[in-house]
């Protein structure tokens, strides 16, 4: 009530102003009307355990009330097959019965799994089995919770009034006391009925209230005497078995020290077996374990059938109609931890030089542009040095004076794994010669061939980051790797463990760069071999031909002269009609204007390889220049000009039509004239005015390939690749290696499952991981998509494998059960959310299952010590066939949870609001 002060300074209370209670009622009523809580028609019955397996929708609204506000939450289960609701609604003739009444009487959702899943179910849904309900609690309940009776009455009265005003059929609860106690009080309204929800907790309950007989007495005292039928009872008893631990010690490749975590080993030790070595750690942390619970259930009994007291109880495991085993696993794998730790490198923006120092590659300048490298490479001394066989002392400097946490010998061992051919005395893992098409489809994952150099390097970097020096060790390995590449280039040796051929854009960028480096080495070796053969041939000629030899030498070095004019330079054009650079004849084709001469295929330059980033840069340049730019035409027609010049040199009397017949036969069309004679002519795109092909043909001179400037400068491109790899920052190295790393990790896990003969059990999970990695690797965004969801799925699969190993031990494998029996039961665990049925008297007799025979003797030895909790539910319902309003008495529900001496009573008692 508002207070006012008049002119005479007397206090007055304004009884016409809205009170806090009325304001709260109005705000709460608006929220409930928006959520449409009055609709309850055509609601179907719940399926067995549907509450615990379905998805939930939660809506939230905040109200300005009390000290820090009130939050209103609307929890609603998302059920399937809502079409069945109409048919089931016609069968029920009781107009007063709501979905809340149905849920309280549903015996199929009485007991949920004892293990709390990742999608946490609200405690009210677990206790009462409600499909929808509303909860009111303070915005920050841990600091400002309701603890006084006046606050309880304030909100509970408001909830009752607002529910009646909006005709809500959804139960509304108010959270009271400390949230960790899970105390709720609430109300649910129906036509002429009101259901009150109350919770009571006792730290030390009377002995008779811990058993069914005492609870039935308490229940009957709360229920009106008008209920003449017997109450229905549901009982669930939970036991805990010994925690299972299967020790799988940590294995870190290239780490020869003994880990302190593996000195003390508890539990049975089981070493993981792998067929293919991978430079990633495996094993599980010592604290990994699997907790096992046995749950025996009596779903529905009459109160007169069962007896349960301090002296005698019928609720023992051997008499239970339904028994299930639940496995709760908490396992942490070293492989998943390694991958998660590697994610932090994505945030490191420091350069490689900040870790290993400048000039770590051994060059005078990191930019490679201070001096012309072509002058040094074309010296005869370099050719002689590359002719010598490779000597191991020449690479001793690769690991010296390189800052980092690893010693020279440790780094040499890692390099021997990456480059086994260069370290024959240390090489333990040579690259396989076979093809990996059965394990790798380049059309799917944008990675590299398994166990290739790219995959080995990616795994090695992640392992070094996790176990061998953190980011500093990772930078040290990358620097040593780039040093080795430069040494291979200087000695004209190809990079091992890389697929042959041009850069394959279906693979990752790092693999393409190394393929480009190999192409450069091959072109360089081929070019120098041709030069050597020419030099040897010139020595045997007469002294009168020395002048011609000098001309040939000048032609040989023409490739490296950047100041010389292009291929169309008149100074290098062949002015005579003497053919040069012929490869072979084109079948029996002859020139169109010189029928006496054959058409020869010229010797042309090889295609220009490009990596994915180079193709993207070219496309961006062309897009900026536009289609009409002369530079764009020059970029597109460089190879075409070279081929035309080679064709003119091989066929001096040839014309453009002859060139098209060889180069693009589809543009040499066959037509029929008016007289019916068959003729050939150029296509329309070749005869259009201003055609690019005609312009290039007119520009082309007769220059054989031996006198043309190289389209692909292998020296320059190789130095570009080396410079690219040496100047990467740490987060860029992460982007280059994360996809091959994840690919290798999935294949390693698949290898572990295969050696354990479990590939059929987890094949769907492995397939999903590979499919997700495929989408991740082929993302078109500039930034790499987050890999956390994939890592979570990978860690979950590893937890499942650990869970299987513990279940395998529990099942008595191999003495008392076969692997096939264990796998069949574990498939049920995968399907039923960590649950497996061990006894079901409705289908089979007790004792038919091997697991049942193993567990029951263990449980009967110390049954009292293994007991965790007893859960009793007592239900009583009125006559649901009554069609008249006011005759249905409503449901009565009480749940008792007994844990040792503690007791929690959860009641939902219905009373009639009709005044007769």
- CA gap 914, 313 in Å, rounded: 41
Before 547, cis peptide (omega within 30)? no
HSE (side-chain half, CA atoms, 13 Å) at 423? 21
Q: What's the pLDDT at 538? A: 65
Is residue 579 within 8 A of residue 598, CB to CB? The reply is: no
Q: Does the pLDDT value for residue 424 go beyond 50?
A: yes
Q: What's the pLDDT at 388? A: 34
DSSP 504-522: -TTS-HHHHHHHHHHHHHH
- CA gap 650, 284 in Å, rounded: 69
Sign for the CA dihedral angle at 200, 202, 207, 212 comes to positive
- CA gap 499, 807 in Å, rounded: 43
Q: What's the pLDDT at 596? A: 82
Per-residue pLDDT, averaged over 248-268, amounts to: 65
Q: Does the pLDDT value for residue 1 go beyond 70?
A: no
Among 216, 769, 718, which residue's Cα sits nearest to residue 493?
Answer: 718
Least confident window among 380-394, 504-518, 736-750, 873-887: 380-394
Per-residue pLDDT, averaged over 364-391, amounts to: 39
- CA gap 513, 503 in Å, rounded: 7
Q: What's the pLDDT at 636? A: 67
The most confident of the ranges 90-99, 205-214, 401-410 is 205-214
Q: Does the pLDDT value for residue 813 go beyond 60?
A: yes
Q: Does the pLDDT value for residue 89 go beyond 70?
A: no
- CA gap 151, 177 in Å, rounded: 11
Q: Does the pLDDT value for residue 367 go beyond 50?
A: no
Q: What's the pLDDT at 858? A: 67
Q: What's the pLDDT at 401? A: 67
Question: Tokens standing for 871?
Answer: 């859960």
Confidence of residue 6 (pLDDT cuts 50, 70, 90): low
Q: What is the pLDDT of residues 466-523, one digit of tens each?
A: 998 899 999 999 999 999 999 999 999 999 999 888 999 899 999 999 999 999 999 8
Q: What is the pLDDT of residues 656-714, one digit of tens each?
A: 888 988 988 888 888 877 777 778 888 888 888 778 888 888 888 888 888 888 888 88
Q: What's the pLDDT at 261? A: 46
Q: Residue 28, Cα to own-chain centre: how many angstroms? A: 42
Q: Residue 201, Cα to own-chain centre: how many angstroms? A: 44
- CA gap 253, 277 in Å, rounded: 9
Least confident window among 48-57, 371-380, 588-597, 793-802: 371-380
Q: What is the pLDDT of residues 103-145, one digit of tens each?
A: 999 999 999 888 765 457 899 999 999 999 999 998 887 777 8
Confidence of residue 875 (pLDDT cuts 50, 70, 90): very high
* Site of tokens 């998805």: 55
Per-residue pLDDT, averaged over 577-582, amounts to: 84
- CA gap 680, 515 in Å, rounded: 43
Least confident window among 300-309, 490-499, 531-540: 531-540
Q: What's the pLDDT at 372? A: 46
Average pLDDT score, the chain = 81
- CA gap 123, 129 in Å, rounded: 9
Is residue 513 within 8 A of residue 485, CB to CB? The reply is: no
Among 656, 654, 719, 647, which residue's Cα sits nearest to residue 692?
Answer: 656
- φ, ψ (nearest 5 deg) of residue 737: -115, -10
Per-residue pLDDT, averaged over 429-443, amounts to: 63
* Site of tokens 């330059």: 605
If phi over 0 gives left and psi between -120 and 50 gives alpha, with beta otherwise, what is residue 607? beta
Give Cβ neighbours of residue 483 (< 8 Å, ≥ 6 apart).
360, 361, 362, 398, 402
Q: Which residues pair with 680 in a beta bridge?
A: 670
Q: Does the pLDDT value for residue 16 go beyond 70?
A: no
- φ, ψ (nearest 5 deg) of residue 610: -145, 145
Q: What's the pLDDT at 511? A: 94
* More confident of the two residues 557 and 466: 466
* More confident of the two residues 147 and 171: 171
Q: What's the pLDDT at 916? A: 40
Q: What's the pLDDT at 121? A: 86
Per-residue pLDDT, averaged over 852-866, amounts to: 74
For the chain, what percent of residues have pLDDT higher than 90?
Answer: 41
Q: Does the pLDDT value for residue 148 go beyond 50?
A: yes
Q: What's the pLDDT at 559? A: 45
* More confident of the two residues 365 and 322: 322
Q: Does the pLDDT value for residue 574 go beyond 50?
A: no
Q: What's the pLDDT at 41? A: 56
Q: What's the pLDDT at 260? A: 39
DSSP state of 8: T
Q: Does the pLDDT value for residue 553 go beyond 50?
A: no
Q: What's the pLDDT at 461? A: 96
DSSP state of 301: E
Q: Does the pLDDT value for residue 755 go beyond 70?
A: yes
- φ, ψ (nearest 5 deg) of residue 198: -135, 150
Give Cβ neighbours of residue 555 (< 8 Å, ≥ 6 apart).
706, 707
- CA gap 263, 249 in Å, rounded: 10
Secondary element (H or E) of residue 616: helix 612-625
Output the 3-class SS for 524-570.
HHHHHHHHHHHHHHHHCCCHHHHHHHHHHHHHHHHHHCCCCCCCCCC
**3-state secondary structure (DSSP) of residue 186:** strand
- CA gap 391, 418 in Å, rounded: 18
């Amino acid at each position: 009530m508002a207070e006012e002060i008049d002119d005479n300074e007397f206090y007055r209370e304004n009884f016409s102003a809205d009170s806090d209670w009325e304001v709260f009622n109005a705000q709460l009523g608006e929220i409930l009307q928006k959520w449409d809580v009055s609709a309850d028609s055509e609601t179907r019955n719940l399926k067995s355990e549907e509450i615990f397996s379905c998805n939930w929708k939660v809506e939230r609204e905040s109200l300005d009330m009390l000290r820090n506000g009130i939050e209103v939450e609307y929890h609603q289960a998302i059920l399937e097959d809502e079409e069945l609701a109409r048919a089931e609604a016609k069968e029920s003739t009781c107009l007063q019965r709501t979905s809340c009444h149905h849920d309280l009487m549903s015996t199929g959702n009485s007991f949920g799994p004892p293990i709390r899943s990742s999608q946490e179910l609200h405690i009210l849904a677990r206790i009462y089995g409600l499909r929808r309900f509303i909860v009111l609690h303070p915005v920050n309940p841990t600091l400002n919770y309701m603890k006084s009776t006046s606050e309880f009455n304030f909100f509970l009265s408001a909830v009752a009034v607002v529910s009646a005003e909006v005709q809500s059929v959804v139960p509304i609860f108010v959270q009271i006391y400390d949230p960790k106690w899970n105390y709720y009080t609430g109300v649910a309204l129906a036509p002429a009925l009101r259901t009150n929800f109350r919770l009571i907790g006792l730290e030390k309950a009377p002995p008779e209230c811990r058993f069914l007989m005492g609870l039935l007495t308490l229940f009957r005292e709360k229920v009106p005497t008008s209920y003449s039928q017997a109450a229905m009872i549901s009982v669930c008893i939970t036991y805990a078995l010994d925690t299972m631990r299967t020790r799988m010690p940590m294995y870190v490749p290239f780490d020869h020290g003994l880990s302190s975590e593996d000195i003390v080993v508890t539990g049975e030790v089981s070493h993981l077996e792998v067929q293919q070595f991978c430079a990633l750690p495996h094993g599980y942390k010592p604290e990994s374990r699997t907790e096992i619970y046995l749950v025996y259930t009596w779903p529905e009994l009459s109160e007169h059938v069962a007896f349960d007291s301090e002296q005698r109880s019928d609720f023992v495991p051997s008499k239970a109609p339904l028994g299930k085993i639940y496995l709760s696993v908490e396992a942490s794998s070293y492989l998943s931890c390694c991958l998660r730790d590697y994610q932090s490198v994505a945030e490191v923006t420091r350069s490689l030089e900040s870790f290993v120092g400048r000039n770590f590659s051994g060059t005078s300048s990191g930019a490679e542009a201070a001096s012309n490298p072509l002058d040094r490479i074309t010296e005869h001394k370099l050719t002689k040095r590359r002719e010598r066989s490779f000597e191991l002392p020449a690479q001793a400097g690769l690991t010296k004076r390189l800052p980092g946490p690893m010693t020279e010998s440790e780094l040499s061992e890692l390099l021997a794994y990456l480059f086994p051919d260069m370290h024959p005395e240390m090489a333990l893992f040579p690259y396989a010669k076979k093809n990996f098409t059965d394990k790798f489809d380049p059309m799917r994952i944008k990675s590299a061939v398994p166990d290739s150099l790219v995959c080995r390097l990616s795994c090695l970097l992640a392992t070094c980051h996790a176990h061998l020096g953190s980011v500093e060790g990772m930078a040290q390995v990358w620097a040593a790797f780039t040093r080795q590449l430069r040494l291979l280039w200087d000695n004209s040796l190809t990079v091992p463990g890389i697929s042959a051929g041009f850069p394959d854009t279906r693979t990752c960028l790092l693999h393409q760069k190394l393929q480009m480096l190999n192409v450069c080495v091959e072109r360089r070796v081929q070019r120098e071999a041709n030069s050597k053969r020419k030099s040897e041939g010139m020595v045997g000629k007469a002294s009168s031909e020395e002048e011609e030899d000098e001309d040939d030498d000048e032609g040989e070095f023409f490739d490296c002269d950047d100041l010389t004019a292009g291929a169309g330079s008149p100074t290098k054009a062949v002015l005579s009609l003497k053919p040069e650079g012929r490869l072979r004849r084109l079948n029996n084709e002859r020139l169109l204007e010189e029928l006496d001469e054959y058409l020869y295929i010229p010797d042309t330059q090889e295609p220009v390889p490009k990596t994915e980033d180079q193709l993207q840069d070219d496309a961006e340049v062309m897009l900026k220049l536009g289609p009409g730019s002369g530079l764009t035409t020059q970029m597109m027609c460089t190879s075409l000009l070279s081929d035309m010049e080679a064709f003119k040199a091989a066929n001096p009397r040839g014309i453009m039509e002859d060139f098209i017949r060889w180069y693009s036969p589809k543009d040499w069309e066959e037509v029929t004239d008016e007289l019916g004679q068959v003729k050939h002519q150029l296509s329309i795109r070749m005869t259009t005015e201003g055609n690019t092909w005609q312009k290039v043909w007119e520009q082309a001179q007769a220059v054989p390939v031996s006198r043309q400037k190289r389209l692909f400068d292998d020296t320059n491109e190789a130095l570009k690749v080396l410079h690219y790899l040496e100047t990467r920052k740490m987060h860029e190295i992460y982007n280059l290696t994360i996809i091959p790393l994840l690919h290798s990790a999935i294949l390693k896990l698949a290898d572990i499952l295969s050696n354990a003969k479990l590939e059929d059990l987890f094949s769907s999970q492995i397939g999903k991981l590979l499919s997700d990695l495929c989408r991740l690797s082929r993302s078109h965004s500039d930034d790499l998509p987050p890999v956390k969801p994939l890592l979570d799925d990978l860690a979950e699969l590893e937890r499942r494998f650990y869970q299987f190993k513990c279940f395998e031990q529990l099942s008595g494998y191999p003495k008392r059960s076969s692997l096939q029996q264990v796998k069949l039961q574990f498939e049920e665990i995968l399907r039923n959310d960590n649950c497996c049925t061990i006894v079901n008297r409705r289908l089979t007799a007790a004792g038919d299952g091997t697991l049942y025979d193993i567990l029951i003797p263990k449980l009967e030895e110390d049954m009292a010590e293994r007991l965790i909790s007893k859960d009793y539910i007592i239900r009583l319902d009125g006559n649901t066939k009554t069609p008249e309003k006011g005759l249905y008495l409503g449901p009565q529900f009480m749940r008792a949870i007994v844990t040792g001496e503690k007791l929690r009573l959860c009641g939902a008692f219905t009373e009639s609001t009709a005044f007769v």
